[in-house]
Amino acid sequence: MVLVKFRSRGPNEVGKNVITHKSRSVCTTLHSNEYETFLKDLDEKPFKLIKITSGEEARPDVIAYNYYGSSEYYWLVMQTNNISDPYEGLLAGDVIKIIDFITYL
């Protein structure tokens, strides 16, 4: 298991990679070894299942605030549950995984 230390709370802090796009350098997590390892390890981290309430529907930021103490971890809610569209993937009554991520912050 890889322990990742965050300087910030965005997904771009889990390893960076500089690529060239339209003749410009762009900093991204795509294809960074650290981020790819982090994603592979998500399924191995302890988690609990929660049921989305009506106030949390389509709101990964609210879910992140309720379970991680900061809305800045919205991306972790989305990534952990393989959701690209919160309006379709975070409906009231749905059950999603919340990984025990606090120990990694």
pLDDT tens profile 4-39: 444 444 555 566 667 777 888 877 656 667 777 777
Give the span between the Cα atoms of 65 and 74, in whole angstroms: 8
Asked whether 70 and 9 are in contact (CB, 8 A), the reply is: yes
Q: What is the DSSP letter of 101?
A: -
* Cα gap 83→90, rounded to integer Å: 8
* 1-5, 6-10, 55-59: range with highest mean pLDDT: 55-59
Residue 2: what pLDDT?
37
Are 98 and 67 spatial neighbours (Cβ–Cβ below 8 Å)? yes
Beta-strand relationship, 17-21 and 24-28: antiparallel
The domain limits of the chain are 11-104
pTM of the shown model: 0.69
The predicted structure's pLDDT at residue 14: 61
pLDDT for the residue numbered 53: 97
